[in-house]
Structure 1
Amino acid sequence: MTKHLELNMDAYLPLRDVVFQTLRAAILRGELKPGERLMELQLAAKLGVSRTPIREAIRMLEQEGLAITIPRKGAEVAKMTEKDMEDVLQIRCVLEELAARVSCHKINDGELRELKVAMIEFDEKTKADNVVELAKADVTFHDLIYKAADNPKLSMLLNNLREQMYRYRTEYLKDTQRHSQLIQEHHEIVKALELRDEEQVVKIIRQHLKNQEEVVKKMIREQE
């Protein structure tokens, strides 16, 4: 287990959420490796908390697909698999295309301005070596498209799926050679929405997700 695991306290968050964010960041940064055991007693001692918030945080990690509990063995960091990624991306592609289609007809000038700000924020984040912050900027960009669709039930489905996508998103964003392509795709998405070009925005979204799938599949195969 990594020697650098430290609790990042936040007075506004419950302890279980602080533990969750700490473990989540360690997994996404690769400090806790796939297959590494998440032993409650050891983690509790290392972070200076009781076992209860550790147990609750592990359950939250399981919901995101970052951890898995194996009978008679306990919890461990989940391995990424092609099948799991394909399953999640298949659903995301359908829902995100739908959100983009609806947003094309509903997005207003204020929402377009917000989206452009988020686009520029993402561009700026690619200049820093912080994949977690970059992932947040990417999530914000896509969330604004969902919001513009003005369909709370669709947004809820996409938000639930987002947690399962988070690990694959960060793996993709670690590939700095892809950042210029991502920036271009975001700009093209905004332009298509601005022109109310439904077929063009769906085409870009589809390619956007296909590129992610290809890169992450390659990463998974290299780690096997």
Structure 2
Amino acid sequence: MNLEMEMDEYLPLRDVVFNTLRRAILKGELKPGERLMEITLADKLGVSRTPIREAIRKLELEGLVVMAPRKGAKVASITERDLNDVLEVRKGMEVLAISLACKRITGEELEKLETIEQSFQKLIESGNLTELAEMDVKFHDTIYQATNNQRLVQLLNNLREQMYRYRMEYLKDIAVRRTLAEEHKAICRALRERDEQQAEQYVSIHIDNQQKAIIRSLNQE
């Protein structure tokens, strides 16, 4: 486990510790089921146990950490129920986002989206899951911004954080990565043609395929 804190002079230490642990869980650096030992984490981050304890309490409220009787804190498992709950909400909001983006996306935003899509294509064979996940995030973020609806962007960003753990699961499979790239390409094409019906259909298929891939990955563990 290699944890590094990104210090921020505007944030209290407890928030920096919380952000560090949260990011490590979302990116899979702290694995599902892994115990969170206060003393070990405090030593690794060079802080006292108090901000660690406060961070763990906040992570428990977010559902990223669970407290086990007599065993202490551990990283929450990724369950099929959680996945289905997140993706049901995400699918509804993504369909709305793509519908608005079809009407509002600018030429500049389209070019940016297509550049990201091409970058994703180039990363497929590399196996660098972190870079692939970040490029996937950028692709969807560009569509969100094209809605020109900041309230929707805010809601989708909150959901995106919860999706990060699942993204790392489905990107492990190279066949899934190739399918994902083709779906990105189809979404770009529908947006350029302002074909709202096709765009909504592609986004729905895109999320359904992710759901199947993650469930398959979870069942293999």
TM-score range normalised by the length of the shorter chain: 0.7 to 0.9
The aligned runs of 1:1-224 (5 Å cut-off) are 5-10=1-6, 16-17=15-16, 20-21=19-20, 24-25=23-24, 28-29=27-28, 32-59=30-57, 61-62=59-60, 65-70=63-68, 73-223=71-221
Q: Percent identity?
A: 48
Number of corresponding residues? 218
CA contact (8 A) 2:26 2:162 kept: no
- Relative to structure 1, is the Cα distance of residues 164 and 84 closer, same or farther in structure 2, using a 3 angstrom cutoff? same
CA contact (8 A) 2:18 2:59 kept: no
Residue type at the aligned position of 1:41? I
CA contact (8 A) 2:176 2:213 kept: no
TM-score normalised by the chain length of structure 2: 0.87
CA distance in 1, matches of 2:202, 2:54: 39
Q: What secondary structure sits across from 1:69 in the alignment?
A: strand
Deviation at 1:64, TM superposition (A): 5.9
TM-score normalised by the chain length of structure 1: 0.86
- Relative to structure 1, is the Cα distance of residues 185 and 64 closer, same or farther in structure 2, using a 3 angstrom cutoff? farther
CA contact (8 A) 1:40 1:55 kept: yes
- Relative to structure 1, is the Cα distance of residues 62 and 131 closer, same or farther in structure 2, using a 3 angstrom cutoff? farther
- Relative to structure 1, is the Cα distance of residues 80 and 7 closer, same or farther in structure 2, using a 3 angstrom cutoff? closer
Deviation at 1:55, TM superposition (A): 3.3
Write out per-residue CA displacement over residues 116-138 of structure 1, whole angstroms, 9 at most, x where no aligned residue. 12212222232333212211111
Deviation at 1:102, TM superposition (A): 0.7
Write out per-residue CA displacement over residues 157-209 of structure 1, whole angstroms, 9 at most, x where no aligned residue. 11111111111111111112211111111010000000000010111101101
Deviation at 1:53, TM superposition (A): 3.8
Of 197-206 and 116-125, the range deviating more from structure 2: 116-125
Residue type at the aligned position of 2:114? K
- Relative to structure 1, is the Cα distance of residues 176 and 52 closer, same or farther in structure 2, using a 3 angstrom cutoff? farther
RMSD: 2.4
CA distance in 2, matches of 1:180, 1:54: 40
Of 140-149 and 167-176, the range deviating more from structure 2: 167-176
Deviation at 1:57, TM superposition (A): 4.2
Deviation at 1:107, TM superposition (A): 0.6
Deviation at 1:68, TM superposition (A): 2.4
What are the ranges of 5 or more consecutive residues in structure 1 without an aligned counterpart?
none
- Relative to structure 1, is the Cα distance of residues 134 and 12 closer, same or farther in structure 2, using a 3 angstrom cutoff? farther
Residue type at the aligned position of 1:105? K
CA distance in 2, matches of 1:102, 1:56: 40
Write out per-residue CA displacement over residues 8-41 of structure 1, whole angstroms, 9 at most, x where no aligned residue. 3545576654674467446744x64322211211
- Relative to structure 1, is the Cα distance of residues 101 and 26 closer, same or farther in structure 2, using a 3 angstrom cutoff? closer
